[in-house]
Structure 1
Amino acid sequence: MSYKVAVVTGAAAGIGAACSKRLAKEGVAVAVLDLDAERCADTVKAIKDAGGTAIAVGADVSNRASVKAALEQVREALGPISILVNNAGVTDFTPFEELTDERWDFIYAVNVRGLFVMTQECLPDMKNAGWGRIVNISSSSAQTGAVNMIPYSSSKGAVVTMTRSMAQEFGPWGITVNNIPPGSVMGTIMSEANREKFQIPTEVLLQTIPVRRMGEPDDIANACAWLCDERSGYVTGQTIGVNGGRVVT
């Protein structure tokens, strides 16, 4: 892969950190973005220690001014942005009848508006280059639904449909847009919160996964790196499920 610059959101830990490291391994310069740049230090250090190029950037993806300032930092330090991984997200376990307007709006601000703002602000660089890769991290909850997770699962459903429409709109500029809905992935903030909330024994959960193991952040990162590669240029608008077969299409 020739010199490319990627922005990965929600990249301080979990799937975002794994995607950052995997892209850096492919020779991509990575802007590791999270709400607080200091939280990204470990990810950046791991990339640099492995010989890669990375910087830490802080931004609230739902706030356009914050995003603009962060992306200017990226352009000044690394150059125009050609890869965007929209991974930042928040979850919720509130029963539907107990949801407040404020909680609903917060989930959608991060999971949906955040993706909209990040993509819109990175898009000019990709169009100018005639090349771009956008990978949106959705959720298997968007495919199956989930009890007590209506704002989360529906917001991730919006990510799936936004991906399809973006792929059609951006395709003429050589920009592909795909989404990955992870299944049960160990070591992420969301998955651990989910397990703690619902107290599902691991052996019971594994019975719902045909490959009989939990996912790891690297499983998602490997698929993300492939979608960002030159050789995946004819793949766009797709949902690439990385879930051990829990959801099949």
Structure 2
Amino acid sequence: MTKRVAFVTGAGRGIGREIALKLAQNGLSVAVTDVHLENATETVSQIKELGGTAEAVLCDVTKLESVEAAVQNTVKHLGKIDVLINNAGWDKIEPFLKSEPSTWELILSINLMGQIHTCKTILPLMIENGYGKVVNIASDSGRVGSSGEAVYSAAKGGVIAFTKTLAREMARHKININSIAPGPADTPLFKEIGEYNEGIATALVKAIPFRRLAKPSDIANAVAFLASDEAEYITGQTLSVNGGLSMV
């Protein structure tokens, strides 16, 4: 994987930051993209402290023009894009009947349309270069549902279906497209959205056979495998990383 270039969305903190660090440790140059440039810059600093190569890039995945500008910026500074990690995501946990259209729109824009925007922009570059790996971050909620996350589950279910279809269309170009479906993870976002139920983390830990939430590194390790040449014969798959919470 030496000298490959990865474009990671939502890499300013949490799982995205851990993915960026892991890929950098594996020898990739990383475009650390985030809607909050200061967070992306902090991730880049950590990568450079480890001796890696990275560039902080402003990117709002909800806007196609922003994605296009971020991709152009990445190619300008890092030369190309070999690996796309669609990690940017957001949720608000609440009963569906108490949710509002503005929340639905934001959830769908970030979690589903964001991945559509990046794939539309970056896949042609991969085809031209003759190489590409795409890993979309979905969720087990998109496979089995999750109370309080109706629209988020719908978006992530869409990501899984989108991944499978793109994998079929891109196979003739030898581009691998897979998704990771994390279970509940100990991230800043999880702490922010956990107010819906004060005991949600405790209840989840009891339900997970491994008796702990996922660490960002658990997700990053799985992403790094699917982004590597060791996974060259794997495409259109959804890998759950959930400690056994669901087994589908």
Structures share a fold, TM > 0.5? yes
Q: Distance in 1 between matches of 2:200 and 2:125?
A: 46
Alpha-carbon contact 1:92-1:151 (below 8 Å) kept: no
Name the SS for the 1:231 alignment partner: helix
Match of 1:238 in 2: 237
CA distance change for structure 1 residues 234 and 191 in 2, over 3 Å: closer, same or farther?
Answer: same
- Listed as ranges, the matches of 1:24-43 within 5 Å are 24-43=24-43
Name the SS for the 2:56 alignment partner: strand
Q: Distance in 2 between matches of 1:183 and 1:100?
A: 25
Q: Distance in 1 between matches of 2:202 and 2:96?
A: 29
- Listed as ranges, the matches of 1:1-249 within 5 Å are 1-186=1-186, 188-200=187-199, 202-249=201-248
CA distance change for structure 1 residues 39 and 110 in 2, over 3 Å: closer, same or farther?
Answer: same
Q: Distance in 2 between matches of 1:172 and 1:86?
A: 22
CA distance change for structure 1 residues 203 and 109 in 2, over 3 Å: closer, same or farther?
Answer: closer
Please list every run of 5 or more consecutive structure 1 residues that lacks an aligned counterpart in the other structure. Answer: none
Q: Deviations over 1:185-236 (max 9, x none)?
A: 11x2332134332112655322211122221000000000000111101011
Alpha-carbon contact 1:5-1:81 (below 8 Å) kept: yes
Letter in 1 for 2:87: N
Name the SS for the 2:241 alignment partner: coil
Q: Deviations over 1:21-80 (max 9, x none)?
A: 000011100000000222212210110010100010111111111111111110010011
Please list every run of 5 or more consecutive structure 2 residues that lacks an aligned counterpart in the other structure. Answer: none
Identity percentage of aligned residues: 39
Alpha-carbon contact 2:12-2:41 (below 8 Å) kept: yes
Superposed CA RMSD: 1.4
Give me the TM-score of the superposition, normalised by structure 2: 0.96
Q: Distance in 1 between matches of 2:90 and 2:205?
A: 24
Q: Deviations over 1:80-108 (max 9, x none)?
A: 11100001111022332233333222211
Q: Distance in 2 between matches of 1:194 and 1:114?
A: 20
Alpha-carbon contact 1:90-1:111 (below 8 Å) kept: yes
Q: Distance in 1 between matches of 2:142 and 2:192?
A: 18
Q: Distance in 1 between matches of 2:202 and 2:65?
A: 46
Letter in 1 for 2:2: S
